A and B are shown apart, each in its own frame.
Chain A
Amino acid sequence: MNARTKFSVIGKPRRRVDARSKVTGLTRFADDLVLPRMLHAKLLRSPHPHARIDSIDTSRAERHPGVHLVLTGKDFPVSFGIMPVSQDEYPLAPERVRYVGDPLAAVIAKDEQTAAEAVELIEVKYAPLLTIATPEEALAHPEARIHEYGENGNIHRNQAYEFGDVDEALAESDHVFEDLFFFQGNTHLPIEQHASLAAVDGEGKLTLWSSTQVPHYIHRALARALQMPAAHIRVIACPNGGGFGGKCDLHNHEIVVSRAAIRLGRPVKICLTREEVFYMHRGRHPVLMKFRTGVNKDGKITGMHLQTLLDGGGYGSYGPASTFYTGVLQPVTYELPRYKFEACRVFTNKPACGPKRGHGTPQPRFGQEVQLDKIAERLRIDPAVLRLNMVAKPNSLTANWLRIGTIGLAECIREVVRISGWNEKHRKLPEGRGVGIACSAYMSGAGLPIYWNKMPHSGVQLLLDRSGQVTVFCGATEIGQGSDDVLAAIVAEVLGIDAYDVRCMTGDTGLTPIDLGSYSSRVTVMMGNAAIQAAENLREMLAEAAAEHLEVLPDRIVLAQGRAFLADDPGRGIDFRAAVELAETKHGTLGSVGSYTPPRPPARYKGGGVGPSPAYSYTACVVEVEVDPSTGWITVPKVWIAHDIGRSINPVSVRGQVEGSVYMGLGEALMEEQVFRRLPPKLSNALVHRIPSLLEYKSLTSLDMPEVETVLIEDPDPNCPFGAKEVGQGPLLPVMPAVANAVWDAIGVRIDEVPITPDKVLEALEKKAKGENPRVGPEHFPAVPYPEPIFVAPPWEGGDGNAQKPPRRAKEAVTS
């Protein structure tokens, strides 16, 4: 099937299957749901960043007219967390609050207004503890310890890997570049505020409708949090009004409304305010980075040593994975003979960070791509050529044992160079204007689930019946990216019908086979492969039945255009519905299933499970900027981007994902930041969000958004359904460094951190005017007590993918 080149649905620009319901306002998001006798919940959140809870008095709230129930920590004895290794949260904090916004009580009342009034009546006595505001403070103060688990003190995760002797490689290089970068945290900001509705049905079983990207993980975690059998819980992921990674955790409010609905026997709904969404966060980790990169005269990298320090916030969340992701995907983009990475995540008294579009990889990608620009500058090599000369090789293994399949990066670089007029612009535009280039790679789905098991990552079930209707069931979740459309398109292609004739039932743990969820850009590849398998099974049954009827062999039957007919005699055939009737007569009730499990990764060392993917997508991007030297204001007139998609399922959606990524990347590059400030001491000195509103958290409006020219490189990947790789996250990654590099080209200053705001530009210009190093960025990297690295020899140095004893190091090569 993958070898086919002629398609009737795949690759055709189409109206996506859920578009009609979206433009009519009929799509039912979680907060649109209403059930009879429904009650409303509100949470009481901590005003302190770090405090012991000495007492909670809920009596006045309970007496408030219209209040049905008040819940506190004692109603939730079991901790939870999305990953098995981070069970460090409570639905309502029982003893300790760890960030401003940490929920500790809930009121369920007849309406939102009443619940909000009663929340104000809850009296809490807090004993404030030392606030840990920054990673530096976390390292300096093992006490007050924010959690009683983790590596030690306030270090949550600490790890080190070395693939080949990097110090030796650097010592033998013509040049060693050492650079520090900082990537500020930012948040997802889906326009839909998180909402959840829980109800208990006639059998006493619980249903939770929620804005979630990961109903299966929520289902598992909720069963544990509520200490209920999973079989008695059904989680329905409503279409998400945007997710971007912000709806991947099990959230406190989801457990609270569930418990309340069980207690009261009535439906309970909650919708967070925008301010609460900012405080719940789970977004991009602020990451401080240090790169030491060895380069030869020809610009080829000999080795890289990357150190990262992640500001994790108050809880674990996906942090263990995020920590890995600040390192593991670095070797996928360019040839990298030796690589060492050390990563440390600390707890601080701020909202927990987690996965946001690109999960952990935009930060080191920013650092590497800006450093490459500096390298190109020093070696007098064109930055596009420098990159082109060291694109990773297809069908190869990386230093850290990731298997790469197809790579369209060289094509992407050539295309953006061509369409942007790079060669006429770079170093040639007048002062104040410049262009920058950057590249990236991203995985099409994580190779391992977040809890250890060997079962499929995606399951698809198909039902057909004599009316000719086709219903496809899959746990995948529509978050705006178009997963329902991909599912319908694939089934339609295989069965030879129209995508709009396929009914999608998705994201419902009570009905649909398990799919791990909409994260890590996994849906198209994993769900898609499972869908092909399920549809192929049914196609065979239909072809057999049709063949029998037409008195030919089944392999002569083609299913296309709503018919089953002879490949060599298209006039002889029957319509799809007749074929289904015949098949139902022949085989009985028609159904099939398909499953997908990613290939086993070649790495055998501990931790080698993070990073493998069935396929990697590649992107190259050129950004043009205009910088006003008097204000520091950066305008972006145009962005050119080429993405290695493998094959587009629906080019309209693919382009939308690319442009949406550019939009979000420009926001991260220029303005978005999730930052915190201290309230004045006479108030409480608490560490609060600086700007928890859509107006003050700056993001691009239509007036700021430049024109984007998108090129799709189609080189079908054999591991992917019809060859289609991911597109939801990869195209975001090169945007931030391309902006930084363009600023250098425009005005000759280096801003080694994002966001690149006007104040930083002005500061750098001032330095430049004074003859100082025209750079703004982090000045030092704290002493992080990284552990001894796990040493693994790269494939080309005779390794077998296992950890081994490190080679004896030449003393002089060891630098501090």
Chain B
Amino acid sequence: MNAVVSVQRNVRMTLRVNGEDFDALFAPYKTLLEVLREDLDLTGTKHGCELGECGACAVLLDGEPVLACLVLAVECEGRSIETVEGLARGSELHPLQSAFADLGGTQCGYCTPGILMTAKALLDREPDPGRERIREAISGNLCRCTGYQQIYESIEEGARRMREQSQ
């Protein structure tokens, strides 16, 4: 077997994450997940497989949920990236966050950032989705702790709080 010679030239680009521009220098093979966590210190985004199977790494790319482990960071130049770190306004929690905290939507918390982002994408589009829509929307996010029921309730309550806020 031959030695794999790693002479990859790093790329430099500006990534817009949570409305903030980051000047980043990274190897071109790196996924968005890796760049967020390793180069931008945004470790709120989690990983459970790095193969697109668990949903823990879900972030929003131009408002759409994507699995950050399946997206190359180089594809994200000039696009809007949203992560869990961008949800709260200062120290005020996003309504989804406060609902998850209040209603048991988070236990170990490991799946939580991915589910929050997926739920946010849903609620941004459909402010009052039914239980079935919620179940479908998060069906790509595995949670090993909760049995999902308190997650649905948290999303429903988060939606209610969001509607209240926007009134």
Contacts and interface: CB of A to CB of B under 8 A. Distances in A.
B49 A274 contact: yes
Q: Looking at B47, B53, B101, B139, which has the most chain A CB atoms within 10 Å of its CB?
A: B101
Interface stretch (B9-17, B71-79, B105-113): B105-113
B149 A239 contact: no
Interface stretch (A21-29, A167-175, A252-260, A372-380): A21-29
Q: Looking at A32, A479, A653, which has the most chain B CB atoms within 10 Å of its CB?
A: A32
Contacts of B54: 191, 694
B25 interface: no
B135 A242 contact: no
A85 interface: no
Interface string B77-101: 0000001110110000100011011
B109 A239 contact: yes
A482 B103 contact: no
Contacts of B45: 25
**Interface of chain B: mostly helix, strand, loop or mixed:** loop
A692 to B, nearest CB: 11
A113 B111 CA distance: 25
A449 interface: no
B87 to A, nearest CB: 7
B46 A191 contact: yes
Interface stretch (A73-81, A302-310, A627-635, A657-665): A657-665
Contacts of B116: 23
B83 A25 contact: yes
B136 to A, nearest CB: 7
A274 B50 contact: yes
B108 A23 contact: no
Interface string B128-141: 00000011101111
Nearest to B106: A22
Q: Looking at A21, A64, A242, which has the most chain B CB atoms within 10 Å of its CB?
A: A242
Interface string B45-63: 1111111011010000000
A468 interface: no
Nearest to B101: A19
Interface in A656-704: 656, 659-664, 693-695, 699, 701-703
A25 B107 contact: no
Interface stretch (A2-10, A114-122, A711-719): A114-122
A655 B44 CA distance: 26
A595 to B, nearest CB: 28
B51 A191 contact: no
Interface in B1-50: 1, 3-4, 6, 27, 37, 41, 43-50
Nearest to A705: B148
Contacts of B144: 188-191, 242, 244, 660, 664, 699
Nearest to A666: B147
A121 B44 contact: no
Contacts of A114: 6
B135 A24 contact: no
A25 B6 CA distance: 33
Q: Looking at A117, A192, A479, which has the most chain B CB atoms within 10 Å of its CB?
A: A192
B147 A660 contact: yes
Interface string A451-486: 000000000000000000000000000011110000
A568 to B, nearest CB: 36
B112 A693 contact: no
A693 B136 CA distance: 22
Interface residues of B, number: 60
Given A64-B3, A242-B145, A702-B138, A28 B49 contact: no
Q: Looking at B110, B112, B146, which has the most chain A CB atoms within 10 Å of its CB?
A: B110
Contact of A113 (B6, B47, B145): B6
Interface string A634-655: 0000000000000000001101
A703 B139 contact: yes
Contacts of B43: 25, 28, 31-32, 34
Given A22-B112, A26-B44, A121-B3, A707 B149 contact: yes
A708 interface: yes
Nearest to A482: B107
A813 to B, nearest CB: 47
A23 B104 contact: no
A699 B143 CA distance: 10
B136 A23 contact: no
Interface string A77-121: 000000000000000000000000000000000000110010011
Contacts of B146: 656, 659-660, 663
A243 B3 CA distance: 37
B84 A25 contact: yes
A708 B108 contact: no
Nearest to B54: A694
Contact of A241 (B87, B109, B147): B109
Given A22-B100, A192-B46, A659-B148, 17 more contacts: A19-B101, A22-B109, A23-B101, A23-B116, A24-B44, A25-B45, A28-B43, A29-B46, A114-B6, A192-B108, A243-B108, A273-B50, A652-B102, A660-B145, A693-B53, A699-B144, A705-B147
23 contacts: A15-B101, A15-B102, A23-B106, A24-B44, A25-B83, A25-B113, A27-B109, A113-B27, A191-B143, A193-B49, A241-B109, A244-B144, A274-B49, A480-B107, A480-B145, A652-B103, A652-B104, A653-B104, A656-B146, A694-B48, A694-B53, A699-B142, A702-B151
**Sorted from nearest, which 4 A-B pairs have the closest CB atoms?**
A25-B44, A480-B108, A22-B109, A241-B110
